[in-house]
């Protein structure tokens, strides 16, 4: 039912944990950034493309990152396509798509 790649494994875990696959979900995509300037440029380009984004700095790990929230069905191909689109937008700013997740009630 689920592809045997990392995204397929996340979908399988969500299925087992009771995620609703019949309705669109708020999917959080994580974007890792090289530094603060990378984060600011990433937030700017994603805002220009009308994504809902929020930036963060993790002092413990010294990591800069942002989340991009997209309402979508929990389907493999669209999730993979969204990660590829995000990568295309942010790679010029020393950032990359670093996974995704969904909150399960």
Q: How confident is the model at residue 82 (pLDDT cuts 50, 70, 90)?
A: very high
Residue 1's pLDDT is what?
78
Query: What proportion of the chain, given as a percentage, has pLDDT over 90?
Result: 96
Give me the domains of the chain, ranges plus CATH numbers.
Answer: 6-13+24-99 (3.30.70.970)
DSSP the chain: ---SSHHHHHHHHHHHTT--SSS-EEEEEEEEESSHHHHHHHHHHHHHTT-EEEEEEETTTTEEEEEEEEEE---HHHHHHHHHHHHHHHGGGTEEEEEEEE---
Residue 54's pLDDT is what?
97
Per residue in 15-32, pLDDT (tens digit) is 999 999 999 999 999 999
Q: How confident is the model at residue 70 (pLDDT cuts 50, 70, 90)?
A: very high
Per residue in 35-60, pLDDT (tens digit) is 999 999 999 999 999 999 999 999 99
């Amino acid at each position: 039912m689920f592809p045997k790649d990392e995204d397929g494994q996340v979908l399988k875990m969500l299925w087992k944990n009771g995620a609703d696959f019949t309705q669109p979900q708020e999917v959080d995509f994580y974007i890792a950034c090289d530094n603060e300037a990378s984060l600011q440029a990433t937030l700017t380009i994603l805002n220009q493309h009308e994504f809902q984004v929020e930036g963060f700095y993790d002092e413990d790990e010294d990591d800069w990152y942002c989340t991009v929230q997209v309402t979508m069905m929990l389907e493999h191909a669209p999730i993979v396509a969204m990660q590829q689109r995000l990568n295309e937008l942010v790679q010029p700013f020393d950032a990359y798509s670093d996974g995704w997740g969904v909150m399960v009630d």
